[in-house]
């Protein structure tokens, strides 16, 4: 497979950003581009089978083949950066998972609805982004539940503490045995990551692209953590998706497994 050279990245970033200016939600559904990266397959994740995944935090991860990746985004929704990430994903017909902060969902409910409408998975990332180990268990539990309520209200108009997608990621990957047990008892899968772009650090989009592609080249597959709330990540996404395409990677979209209980409810 052809690989991008480092000196090509700034040019590709600029060109792709210009192209994305006219992308709409309809383009994602129609996928008119034959050369698009696309979504290779959908993986149903059952919290009983995979209660905790991501090798940076846990011994187990998702069953991905060589050169398969799961794209995940934290800390959104955050205008205008989330919209730019969505445009990049739509341009390549790729579906991802967004772990949303409840406060931001309450502030931008239309953007939460757009994430879901464009086929992405809406998951949960607390209400106020605390470090669970630094607060009481009751405070941590309340923050988790309040975040789920806000996400669900933005998405469906009803505040419920039962998530329609039972996926959760702890802010900073900072869990405790008690909060892990709580989520497992409620059938909510906890996501870590297998690699990340370190996009919370100060760097240019080009530097971020170099960092994440080098890490992916070493790992060859995995759950990738990115942040749609970061301007640098939004700027580098078109080039990163092209890198995946040009280097033979396949995107796996994760969705919750349909249990007998939920199937009987419909």
CB-based contacts of 151, cutoff 8 Å, min separation 6:
100, 102, 105, 112, 122, 124, 163
Whether residue 246 lies in the annotated active site: no
Residue by residue, DSSP assigns 180-244 as HHHHHHTT-EEE--SEE--TTSS--HHHHHHHHHHHHHHH-SEEEEEETT-HHHHHHHHHHHHHH
**Nearest residue to 190 via CA among 24, 54, 3:** 54
Task: For 159, list phi and psi in degrees, rounded to 5.
Answer: -80, 110
In order of 78, 160, 180, 260, the CA distances from 193 in angstroms are 21, 27, 16, 28
Residue 106's nearest CA partner among 131, 91, 126 is: 126
Which of 81, 124, 125, 227 is labelled catalytic? 227
227 in catalytic set: yes
Residue 7 to residue 12: CA distance in whole angstroms: 9
- Dihedral pair phi/psi, residue 190, rounded to 5°: -105, 130
> What backbone torsions phi and psi does residue 227 show, to the nearest 5 degrees?
-130, 110
Q: Name the active-site residue from 74, 143, 151, 199.
A: 74
Catalytic residues: 74, 227
């Amino acid at each position: 497979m052809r690989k991008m050279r480092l000196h090509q990245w700034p040019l590709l970033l600029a060109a792709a950003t210009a192209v994305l200016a006219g992308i709409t939600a309809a383009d994602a559904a129609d996928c008119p581009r034959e050369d698009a990266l696309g979504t290779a397959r959908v993986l149903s994740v059952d919290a009983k089978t995979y209660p905790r995944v991501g090798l940076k935090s846990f011994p187990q991860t998702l069953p991905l083949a060589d050169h398969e990746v799961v794209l995940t985004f934290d800390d959104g929704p955050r205008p205008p950066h989330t919209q730019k990430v969505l445009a990049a994903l739509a341009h390549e017909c790729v579906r991802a998972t967004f772990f949303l902060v409840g406060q931001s969902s309450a502030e931008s409910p239309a953007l939460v609805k757009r994430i879901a409408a464009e086929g992405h998975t809406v998951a949960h990332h607390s209400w106020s982004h605390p470090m669970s180990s630094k607060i009481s268990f009751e405070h941590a539990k309340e923050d988790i539940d309040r975040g789920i309520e806000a996400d669900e209200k933005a998405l469906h108009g009803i505040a419920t503490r039962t998530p329609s997608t039972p996926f959760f990621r702890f802010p900073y990957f900072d869990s405790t045995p008690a909060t892990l047990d709580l989520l497992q008892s409620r059938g909510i899968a906890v996501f870590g990551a297998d690699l990340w772009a370190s996009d919370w650090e100060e760097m240019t989009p080009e530097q971020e692209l170099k960092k994440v592609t080098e890490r992916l080249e070493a790992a060859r597959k995995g759950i990738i953590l990115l942040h749609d709330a970061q301007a640098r990540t939004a700027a580098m996404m078109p080039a990163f998706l092209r890198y995946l395409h040009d280097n033979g990677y396949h995107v796996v979209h994760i969705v919750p497994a349909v249990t007998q209980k939920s199937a009987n409810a419909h």
